[in-house]
Amino acid sequence: MSQTAPPGEELPPGPPPLVLAVAFDLVTRYRLRLTDDRDGRLGPLSGQYLLGAAAWTGRRGAFVGFYEPPADPDAAARDLEQRLRVAEQWAGERLAVQGAERCDVLLVALGPPPRIQPELAGSPAVSVGAVALDPDGGAQALTPLPPGLPGLGELRAHLRAVREGRPVPTLAQVDLAERQVVAGGYAQPTRRAMISAPLVTYGLIALLVGIWIVEQTLRGDVIAREAPGRSPLFDFGALANSGAAAHDWWRYLSSAFLHDDRSAYHILGNGFALFFIGRLVEQLYGRLVLLGTFVLTAGLGSAFWVACTVVGVSSAHADIAAIGASGGVFGLIGMLVMLGRVQGRDVPVGVTASIRQYAITIAALNLVFGFVFPHVNNYVHVGGFLAGAALGLLLAPRRDVGGRALRRIEQAVLAAAVVAAVIALGIAGQHLASVLSQPPSAQPGVLNG
């Protein structure tokens, strides 16, 4: 049902063209939401501005408001000083209510610049600025402008475009643009931030392939020195779920870098999985998180298998070698599945949903293969996945994709895991060298992870 205004009743005037031009950028480039004076979150700012835009969620709160100052210069100065104080108080309250780390406010006066000397508290987490946009004059900053919001040069460009008669969006077009950006989950800036070469992923794959080539090269020499019935992979650093090979801590990590030396299918499968999953983690979370998570979840997946053996869930096989990177790959998958659940809630919804669906599909396919094909260690897969999901609850994506910077303790733990892996590979290399130094003196099943 539609209604029309009674004869003689005019609709209220809309925002000026200059306001609409700036507002279009606020909702598309700066990802702010148009405000409604009925929204209780505005508090004392409600009803005081021709048009407003705000950021209500995430680590950063923001508000941009446009208003027409009084014609009298002294009254305009008093009015702006009052607005600045109210805005600063509102921003301070927003930090607690929103849980934001900082809050930025920009007040835009549509008229000649008043002369003021504002006295603000100056909280490091709150930045309140003001600028005057005079259609008949120019743009002038009245106080330092907050970072991350339109700057003086950008506002002057809008003012110049309006003066030259360039097309200006209507209020309906600004509203539609806001809805389209929200519906798309603000995905475009995040996708641009994710366009980077996953060099560490490529390097990790190259390391796995290089170690596999070493296995191929030295396999015959190791077999010649190995006791009958014992897998030569133990001399390369493989893990068993019982016996002596289950007691060496370094095997829990070194085994993740080994693959079946009798066929290329194992290294190819894990290499391709790491290529598709690892680069997503590297682009979303960063290089240190990729390496640290891969190592941690690979080791914890192996520990999960051994623990299941201790409690009797898995059968003990001291002569079967467990190898493969898939424990770490499943850990990376588990991390992606948790994207946006606790950490990374500011990552665009469209991005998180598609990545989670992709990760779940890959995990499900690998688990099915694990039950269909023999000699696949699903205990390591499940353990790695659970460990990765737990890390996904703690570690946030990169700041430029909607997350935050790593805390020092997180950096320290991840770096320690990487160092431990380097040490484990070094011990495995020493162990292999000691075996090869012996004179020459077949092989049971192998569990692939």
Average pLDDT value for residue range 185-200: 70
Give Cα 32 to chain centroid, integer Å.
Answer: 20
* Nearest-angstrom CA–CA distance, 350 and 277: 18
Q: What is the pLDDT of residue 1?
A: 38
pLDDT band at 184 (very low <50, low <70, confident <90, very high): low
Average pLDDT value for residue range 396-407: 83
pLDDT band at 350 (very low <50, low <70, confident <90, very high): low
Q: What is the pLDDT of residue 301?
A: 95
Q: What is the pLDDT of residue 449?
A: 65
Q: What is the pLDDT of residue 46?
A: 93
Average pLDDT value for residue range 124-142: 89
Calculate what percentage of the chain has a pLDDT beyond 70: 88
Q: What is the pLDDT of residue 401?
A: 78
* Domains along the chain with CATH numbers: 17-186 (no CATH), 196-437 (1.20.1540.10)
**Position with higher pLDDT, 187 vs 29:** 29
Average pLDDT value for residue range 163-185: 82
**Position with higher pLDDT, 72 vs 6:** 72
pLDDT band at 368 (very low <50, low <70, confident <90, very high): confident
Q: What is the pLDDT of residue 96?
A: 84
* Nearest-angstrom CA–CA distance, 440 and 402: 58
Residue 4 has pLDDT above 70, yes or no: no
Average pLDDT value for residue range 386-409: 89
pTM of the model: 0.62
Summarize pLDDT for 436-446 with one digit per residue, the tens: 888 886 444 45
pLDDT band at 11 (very low <50, low <70, confident <90, very high): very low
Phi and psi of 110, rounded to 5°?
Answer: -95, 80
Average predicted confidence (pLDDT) for the chain: 86
